[in-house]
Structure 1
Amino acid sequence: MDNHAGSATSLDSQQFIKKYGPWALVVGASHGLGAEFARQLAALGFNCALLSRRPAVLDELKQELQTNFGIEALVIGVDLMEPNAIETIVEQVGAREIGLLVFNAGAPPFTEHFLTASAAQWAGFVRMNTETVYHCCHHFGAQMVARKRGGIILVGSHAAFGGTKKLALYTATKGFILNLGESLWAEWQQHNVDVLNLVIGSTDTPTMRAHMAAHGMPIPDDLPTAQQIVPLGLDALGSVPTLVHPDDLDLAEGELSRGLQRRDHVLESTEISAKFIGD
């Protein structure tokens, strides 16, 4: 799909906006998956609050969305690694009704041995992938629960499923996001608020290309694109699984998807825990 061609999903735009509109907050919207989420949501008729640490790039995207789709757009320039990021986000959003939060923090993994950097140097990265995520979910999720409608998509990584050498804090914080999203999925179903983890592998984005080029590595021909990945998340929001994994597209007949496996785990764990901590 061409970057400017609009949504590639099979969604009914009126029903989707009714549940998740009128505004979508897209965190990490300057390029790659975040920019594509903004384009496809704008094509569905959403007003878009665009957030990244590069407001000049967002200004261009804002003009594109307003021109092509006739929606309203807001630019929020903020560094998610900074301690006051959530205060800036809340202030800039103001009274706008955020019905859909897409958290797509696009910083590349720090491919370093754990002790190569100081604890202070790691702090901003950890803050972005933990504190800023849960503060956004808490603030905007509370409004959604009160309204009895809304949705959150947390764009994560397959790194969340286990540790890897030279990726200690990347895998750890991606695991945090995955478990946070699944827990909120279980808590907020009864409030008609949907939460989905969009778990991606290597994807052809500007960030990935820059990272591989810096390491002298060629770009594989079969990398999925943002235009292919985004519809997976939008189509699955509000359906059965707690997560969507690209590997689920190539399942053998009768094989249970990762999303359904994780859903069953969350439901079983919730049922067991309720015996000790209540519903």
Structure 2
Amino acid sequence: MEDTRHTCLKLQPKGAAEPIFVKGTWFHSHFDLSITDGHHAWICQASEEQVKDRAVQWDQPVPEYVALAERYLGFQQPGSVYGFADAGDGHKRLSWTFEKEGTKLEWRWKCQPSPNSKKTTADIMDFLMDANIRLSEEVVRKTQSFERLKVESEKCLAQSEKLTNEKMEFESAVYAKFLAVLNSKKAKLRELRDQLQKKNATGKLPKEEESTDKTESFDGGSDDENSEEETSENLTGTSKDIPTSRPRGRKKMLRK
């Protein structure tokens, strides 16, 4: 089954007093148009042969030609000039312009009067009403979905704030505990350092006193030895002057 698409465009042609409605039914290789101004209606049935001839004239593949026509008749393009002029015998000529590679081009399709204008106009109005209902339902669904998403987002935001606060409280508690442990370790290290310094100081004091005593003893001994040497020298020098033998009479007198 061939895929079909439907569009309906409210169009204000150049020079026209009233807008027109252009309903398009798009196939892979051809399309149908229904047009009404509210009073009269026209139709354009572009067959596969006609579309193929137009596509060859514009050096385009048929699907590309149909897609481009759908683009300009499905949605009014700002830079395009639309026309819906008389073509004689109640016929109308629908036209629109576009640019291709810097050249302004114009496409035209001749539309014949509808054999049943009321039915064609009613079909277009029914399509517009159905499309309006579908759009209204879509708007309601989107609005409800938006409200649900809004509620969910608010819940997520509240939960995120709660988790953020709990995270901050947890980090603060962990940091406080870590800081307490760190300060305790620092205090313990200072205490051990002080004990080590005291122990080293206590261990060095006796050695320093002993070395000082030894130095004083060594210095005193040296002084005594020097004084003894000086005395012996004096005595030696004096002994030279003293006779080695004393008179016998003197000895007797001393005895007496």
TM-score (norm 2): 0.22
Higher strand share: 2
Which is greater in Rg? 2
Q: Work out which structure has the larger RCO, using CA pairs closer than 8 Å and 6 or more positions apart in sequence.
A: 1
TM-score (norm 1): 0.20
Higher helix share: 2
